[in-house]
Structure 1
Amino acid sequence: MSATQPLREAARARLPVLRAAHPAQFRPLTPSRLATVAVLLGMAGLFALGVWRLDIDASRLLSGFGQLLHFLTLMVPPAPTQGASVAGVLRALAETLAIAFLGTLLAATIAFPLGFLAARNATVNQALRFLTRRGLDGLRGIDALIWALIWVSVVGLGPFAGVLAIMMGDIGIFGKLYSEAIEAADRKPQEGVVAAGGSGLHRVRFGILPEVLPVIAGQVLYFFESNVRSSTIIGIVGAGGIGLVLAEMIRTLEWQAVSFIVVLILVMVAVIDLLSGALRRRLIGRAA
């Protein structure tokens, strides 16, 4: 008799007690649980296939760390150069900020009525809602960088193309977010307006709008912060702003100027994050 046999017998004796106390843990595999396992296995298989097909190699990344450290040493200390003076960089940063602000403001304004048309509880009719949502899907499905390339070809290089690129991409996103906020609005104020004799327009104006406006304002502030970063990226393809200066410094191997610009971008984004966060908290506090 082995030393572990008494332990096995004790475990077998406790098995009916455990099965009765925790039936969910001992139930057989149901179709839903099998489907969950199949989905997880499928995702793992897709991950492995992606690693193989995309030629992802950790050894190449590790071997490139030496070159990365070399670039970092070239970037220290951050310093402006003749091609990227302090005044020129600050002017480009202000241009980036203006691109993000105007693009976000135009998108938020245009998407406001579209959000009501796309919402199930505020639209004129379901056919118009369907067309509006599909149009928003189309705008949202194209990245801001692709919009920048399109508008640079249409209106030429410069910040105007950047404003249009930010605006087009954000109209689709804002329209979807607005419609979801409108559909999630509490029905009790709306029912109260209708019970008091209000029309459908009154229901939207006094039953929905006061509740969703703080949510919409918070979303606009968040996307303004996000679009400051996006404006930097689209500037690289010629849509104006600091991205254009940054791309030029990279092409000319002015690494100290590159790090100087990156540091200023990080400072600008951090300041905007603090200000927009404070405004969002104020709006949420007032709404509560």
Structure 2
Amino acid sequence: MTLTITHGEIARLRRSNPEIFRRPLAERLREWGLWLGFAALLAFGLWWIDASPLRIWNGLSKLGFLVVLMIPPTDGGAFLGYCYAMLETLAMAFLGTLIAAVLAVPLGFLGAKNLVPNRLFHFGLRRVFDTFRGIDGLVWALIFVSAVGLGPFAGVLAIAVGDLMVFSKLFAEAIENVDRKPIEGVRAAGGSGIQTMRLGVFPQVFPVMMSHVLYFFESNVRSATILGIVGAGGIGLALSDRIRINNWDEAAFIIVMILVTVAVIDNLSRRIRMRIINADTGRK
């Protein structure tokens, strides 16, 4: 039996029993308090950074003047140098991502609680992952520029260390969600611990790992341009130099190169990720 209530009946119920349809006063006051607190926090933040309308207007006017100086973008006769710097940036992103991914595989296995059931060890290792993940890649770049000097080597180390713990956490979570049947099958056949991981676990998580690695590689291509500005080499260093000497037309040309390169990398990475995901789905 289906009970149907018309809009007219609902309206009559609202008029005859308004207290049923009205939210409690305490709930409404709490909601208004949260909105007022949010508005106050936003207003305080804008006041703290001196985001006055006059300052915003002056900034937009100056930005418009800089955009005029950027048109048309020109390479200033250094096109080959910019191409080399872009290749250097791509190499930084690739090597940093690769090193982080390779080192993260054993850490991911160690951090998976279904493979290493020691709760104290698992908790401590995960907190190490979380601690290092809290340090931004730009901070690592500044540290390694001071440690090993200017150049792409510092950028590679910054990307590798910055991504290592993120990969480790993601890999550990992927390993924790594997199907137990292949693992039990390898163990039933007399496989050792290493063989169980290689034959029962790794084939299941490899597509997920590769998807994460490809996504981080395309993200690191963008990050590597910023790392170059602080001295880690690559196209970011060239962009910083052009901005410093007010060659805005050349700076615009470099920005266009970065945008085109990132777009191409994003497209290729997305195609590869989709192929890996489709192949894994087809096997299942």
> TM range, normalised to the smaller chain?
0.7 to 0.9
Once the two structures are superposed, the pairs formed by residues 1-288 of structure 1 within 5 Å of their partners are 13-15=12-14, 26=21, 29=24, 42-82=37-77, 85-123=78-116, 125-193=118-186, 200-288=193-281
Q: CA separation in 2, counterparts of 1:44 and 1:183? A: 42
The range that moved more, 25-34 or 162-171, is: 25-34
In the TM superposition, residue 167 of structure 1 has moved relative to its aligned partner by 0.5
In the TM superposition, residue 184 of structure 1 has moved relative to its aligned partner by 2.5
Q: 1:282 to 1:12 in 2, by over 3 A?
A: closer
Deviations 1:190-222 (A, max 9, x none): 455556665654543344322211011011001
Q: What RMSD in Å do the two structures reach over aligned CA positions? A: 3.1
What secondary structure, in the 3-state scheme, does the structure 2 residue paired with 1:284 have?
A: helix
Aligned length: 274
Q: CA separation in 1, counterparts of 2:106 and 2:117? A: 11
Contact 1:229–1:269 under 8 Å retained in 2: yes
Q: CA separation in 2, counterparts of 1:16 and 1:35? A: 26
Q: CA separation in 1, counterparts of 2:249 and 2:166? A: 37
State TM-score, norm by structure 1.
Answer: 0.83
Amino acid at match of 2:51: I
Q: 1:65 to 1:27 in 2, by over 3 A?
A: closer
Q: CA separation in 2, counterparts of 1:248 and 1:279? A: 35
Give the % identical residues.
51
Unaligned runs of 5+ in 2: 1-7
Q: CA separation in 2, counterparts of 1:35 and 1:120? A: 41
Contact 1:111–1:174 under 8 Å retained in 2: yes
Q: 1:222 to 1:58 in 2, by over 3 A?
A: farther
Q: 1:196 to 1:16 in 2, by over 3 A?
A: farther
Deviations 1:115-154 (A, max 9, x none): 1111211226333322322222222111111111111111
Q: CA separation in 2, counterparts of 1:107 and 1:11? A: 61
Contact 1:107–1:171 under 8 Å retained in 2: yes
Q: 1:176 to 1:29 in 2, by over 3 A?
A: farther
Q: CA separation in 2, counterparts of 1:34 and 1:286? A: 54
The range that moved more, 165-174 or 42-51, is: 42-51
Q: 1:199 to 1:68 in 2, by over 3 A?
A: same
Deviations 1:255-275 (A, max 9, x none): 110011000111110110111
Contact 1:117–1:124 under 8 Å retained in 2: no
State TM-score, norm by structure 2.
Answer: 0.84
Q: CA separation in 2, counterparts of 1:107 and 1:167? A: 5
Q: CA separation in 1, counterparts of 2:118 and 2:30? A: 38
What secondary structure, in the 3-state scheme, does the structure 1 residue paired with 2:76 have?
A: coil
Contact 2:101–2:167 under 8 Å retained in 1: yes
The range that moved more, 190-199 or 88-97, is: 190-199
Q: 1:123 to 1:150 in 2, by over 3 A?
A: same
The range that moved more, 202-211 or 247-256, is: 202-211
